Chain A
């Protein structure tokens, strides 16, 4: 509400706060949406630069949609030429020290399958699912970020999960 004092984002302090608040969220969102190959973090940064150049025309409450639209468009322009690639990190399981090579191999296979399954999801499903389960965001937060209702978020997560479990059926890594 404090930001309402300003009708644009040219003020340094306002802009910095916006950046701190939105850059991470947007980067993560667009990563889930489009994957790593398009370097969404660069596109977000680019959008912030555009925002700064047009700061006089954008009010603080419009800044997010401004950034979102710019980044989204920039990524959509490129997305046709790339497939979505998400990276995965080995999670530290408690039993990691005494895993057999066969088990490690199967786990590797499992994550590769998981990765390709994620890539098969549509961007709406993937974004909602990963914001919830990877990022740990609540359904309400995701609804707000994506600008949809909570029900829609829940549905997207559920349909994503259904597809994932079908893809990953048969693996038993625990």
Chain B
């Protein structure tokens, strides 16, 4: 007990001379002194390096640079929201025009979003808005197309020369330069031109040529012949007949010394040019000549 008190005092540097002698006389005084002395070997300043204020300031600067970039995060967030907004806007309101075009010598058949079927004849084009198609069935046509319309909302085909409105039916529309023709194969269609509104019922057809209206005879087919790769004409000027041939075969036809307005009734096939040319040339008494694979010259035949 005495000894412990002595040690305690010694640890607090509180020994007087006499007590110091007593302490030194302890058998383990040497070890005690060692233990206390050698504690210095564990000095923190030898083991770790306290960072200087300069170092601290550098570190802080590094942090602040990072923290300066903090504005970036909300900015990025805003950009994100903005982009999302644009995406939303486009998905809700942006309504790109679908455009489908049948090139020369080509026919395209497609289904509209409501399963109505459109068949485009060569050199024709339609465009429509895919979105909301079922509630707003409107399409633009340039050229010739056959429609098989599913029942539903009003179905409108707009062309440069007039509109055709139906509820569900089959009909064919031709709109070429000066020439607009609608043939109804099933149901009823309404034809709207700048001057008048007409209703066509099954089998009826109407043609406007250079402003002249002409009723077409009852169609004896359930669909236009061009769907079977055959162009059929009834009292059509030669100009239009050859124009159709150009579209079907993708060729150039030069008419030299031929009355373009002569009316033609008949048909030609879409698969053999030679026969097609003959189908027109023989009844009309014309002479045809292949100048090159892409060009045909048509002149008056010999009498």
**Which A residues are closer than 8 A to B by beta carbons?**
16, 19-20, 23-24, 27-28, 31-32, 36, 39-41, 44-45, 48-49, 52, 86-91, 110-111, 114-115, 118, 129-130, 132-135, 139, 154, 157-158, 161-162, 164-165, 168-169, 171-174
Contacts and interface: CB of A to CB of B under 8 A. Distances in A.
Contact of A134 (B31, B39, B50, B60): B39
A164 B44 contact: no
B48 interface: yes
A166 to B, nearest CB: 10
Given A89-B41, A111-B38, A49 B59 contact: yes
Interface stretch (B6-14, B170-178, B212-220, B221-229): B6-14
B56 A87 contact: no
Contact of A89 (B36, B37, B46, B49): B46
A58 B49 CA distance: 27
Interface in B263-302: none
Contacts of A89: 41-43, 46-47
B76 interface: no
Given A88-B41, A118-B42, A171-B31, A161 B36 contact: yes
A171 B34 CA distance: 10
B35 A165 contact: yes
Top-9 shortest CB links A-B: A133-B39, A28-B44, A31-B44, A87-B47, A88-B41, A89-B46, A27-B50, A134-B39, A134-B43
Contact of B11 (A39, A134, A154): A154
Contacts of B46: 87, 89
B63 interface: yes
Given A45-B51, A86-B42, A139 B30 contact: no
A174 B38 CA distance: 12
Contacts of A87: 42, 46-47
Contacts of A171: 31, 34
A56 to B, nearest CB: 15
Question: Of B7, B28, B39, B56, which is in contact with the most chain A CB atoms at under 10 Å from its CB?
Answer: B39
Contacts of A115: 42
B53 interface: yes
Given A31-B47, A118-B42, A133-B40, 5 more contacts: A27-B48, A28-B45, A28-B48, A52-B60, A174-B33
A138 to B, nearest CB: 9
Contact of A158 (B7, B49, B56): B7
A10 B38 CA distance: 42
Nearest to B45: A28
B230 to A, nearest CB: 85
Contact of A165 (B8, B28, B41, B44): B28
Nearest to B62: A49
A16 B53 contact: yes
Contacts of A110: 38
Contact of A130 (B37, B42, B53): B42
A114 B40 CA distance: 12
A63 B59 CA distance: 19
Given A16-B53, A40-B48, A49-B63, A134 B30 contact: no
Contacts of A23: 50-51, 53, 56
A90 B40 CA distance: 10
B32 interface: yes
A24 B50 contact: yes
Given A134-B40, A161-B36, A173-B34, A20 B53 contact: yes
